[in-house]
Structure 1
Amino acid sequence: MRERSLSLGHGCSRNCGVETWRRWGAIMPETPSPGGPDRVSSTTQQLISEHLALVGFVVSETSMRLPTYVDRDDLRSAGLEGLVQASRSFAESKGVPFRHYAISRIRGAIMDDLRRNDWASRSVRQAGRAREQAVDSLMAALGEIPSTNAVADYMGISVTELRNLDASLTRGSVLSLDAAPTPGTLQASDTLESTMTDPEDQVLENELHQYLRAAVSALPERLRDVISRYFLQGHPMADIARDLNVTESRVSQLRAEAMVLIRDGINSHLAPEQVTPAGRPGGSVDRKRSAYFAAIAEHRLHAMKQESQNSSSVPEATHERPAVEVVA
Structure 2
Amino acid sequence: MSEQIVAERAGNDVDELCRTHLPLVHFEVRAIGARLPGHVFTDDLVSAGMAALAMAARSFDASLGVPFGRYAVRRIRGALLDELRSADWATRSLRSKVRRRDAVHDALAASLGRRPSPAEVAGELGCSVAELERLDADLHASVVLRLDVITDVSGGGGAADAILPSTDATPEMVLMARERQAYLRDAIEALPQRLATVVRGCFFEDRPMRELADELGVTESRISQMRAEALRLLRDGMNSQLDPEMLPGGAGVAAGVGGGAPTGAVARRKAAYYAQIAARSSYRDRLSMPTADEAAAAASMIG
Q: TM-score, with normalisation over the residues of structure 2?
A: 0.40
* Structure index of larger Rg: 1
- Structure possessing the higher relative contact order (Cα contacts under 8 Å, 6 or more residues apart): 2
